[in-house]
Amino acid sequence: MTDGTIICAEGYLFELERRGYLQAGAFVPEVVLEHPEKVAQLHTEFVHAGSDVVQAFTYYAHREKLRVIGREHHLEPLNRAALDIAARVAAETGTLFAGDVCNTNIFEPDDAERQRQVAVMFAEQVAWMAEAGVDVVIGETFWWGQEALLALGAITDAGLPAVITLAPHRSGTTREGWSYADTCRRLQDAGAQVVGLNCIRGPATMLPLLEDIAAAVDVPVAALPVPYRTTADEPTFQSLRDPTYAGDLPGDRPFPTALDPFTCHRFEIADFTVAAHRAGARWLGLCCGAGPHHVRAMAEALGRTPPASRFSPDMSKHAFLGTDVRLARQEAGIGTQL
């Protein structure tokens, strides 16, 4: 079932925040400069679990985000360091080396100066990626189709292959009102090698969008949901509400720091992988909230055995639930009493 399918692990912001090396809210990858070994370790863990791509941690490493935290002077050192870390791990593991650009949060469709600023931000990041020798540049999490096209332009101007993914908010269209299928077709026609969706929606609410995209384009389709249980009523992880918690939450919502009760288990991720592949997706992965065990579930659902599969669950050896004849039986039938 692999047929050229690529697995691309994302989710560095959330995972490194959970590990205590990145601040929720600002979500700027300062960890690249302060603890580069932690970034390298996570790259390695994702590859160990089955990722075919080492994606440089340059998400939100653009001029605007660094300006907000007073570290704009670290723009170039941070980007170059992230690329160096990813290049090293990719070379060691024989995986694809990817750069990354993303939503700038300042794009305005009717503001020529803002558009110029956004184009400059993309161009400077992509230039460092070209110098680093990336195999591909991923442009992700765009809710404006026009901003995605600006990012694509910077990538193609540099002569690099592009994977471009849109963030499917609850409206079901881009901010311009373009359908995702139409936007992906525009991106394909402008030179993207892979187009599709990432982030914002969980498996259940991203899956229904994929068939229309696959029918609209001739290039591989990307699908990288967040691993959270979104629903038709709450289709994005920002829209989720937790009626079981009576305490105060920032903004009165679980996003982004209290999403734990909504996390998909590995079997749900495996089910999504099979269904998304059947719908035509060939660039598969997970975004904010993903852990290596999710990536392994995705790889195994595609019939692969990454190194981490050596430690895939085997309940036959469980002390209470197991069936292995070597297990000591301290109490008959204990498994039925748990």
* CATH code for the domain of 155: 3.20.20.330
Residue 56 inside a domain? The answer is yes
User: 166: Cβ–Cβ under 8 A, 6 or more apart, which residues?
Assistant: 141, 142, 143, 145, 148, 174, 180, 183, 184, 196, 197, 198
Structural domain for 197, as ranges: 6-337
pLDDT given at position 9: 97
pLDDT given at position 306: 97
Query: Average pLDDT for residues 250-258, to the nearest whole number?
Result: 93
Query: Average pLDDT for residues 194-212, to the nearest whole number?
Result: 98
pLDDT given at position 292: 98
**Range list of H helices, the chain:** 12-18, 31-34, 36-49, 63-68, 75-93, 112-132, 145-157, 180-189, 203-216, 266-279, 292-301
Residue 57 inside a domain? The answer is yes
Residue 107 has pLDDT above 80, yes or no: yes
Instruction: Take residue 42 and report the two structure tokens written for it.
Output: 């996570």
Query: Average pLDDT for residues 291-309, to the nearest whole number?
Result: 98
pLDDT in tens, 280-290: 999 999 999 99
* 54 SS3 class: strand
Residue 259 inside a domain? The answer is yes
Query: Average pLDDT for residues 136-159, to the nearest whole number?
Result: 98
Query: Average pLDDT for residues 64-72, to the nearest whole number?
Result: 95
pLDDT given at position 333: 54
Residue 1 inside a domain? The answer is no
pLDDT given at position 337: 56
Q: What pTM, to 2 d.p., does this model score?
A: 0.94
Query: Average pLDDT for residues 178-205, to the nearest whole number?
Result: 98
Work out the pLDDT band at 1, boundaries 50, 70, 90.
very low
Residue 166 inside a domain? The answer is yes
Residue 23 inside a domain? The answer is yes
**Total number of domains constituting the chain:** 1
Residue 30 inside a domain? The answer is yes
- φ, ψ (nearest 5 deg) of residue 211: -65, -40
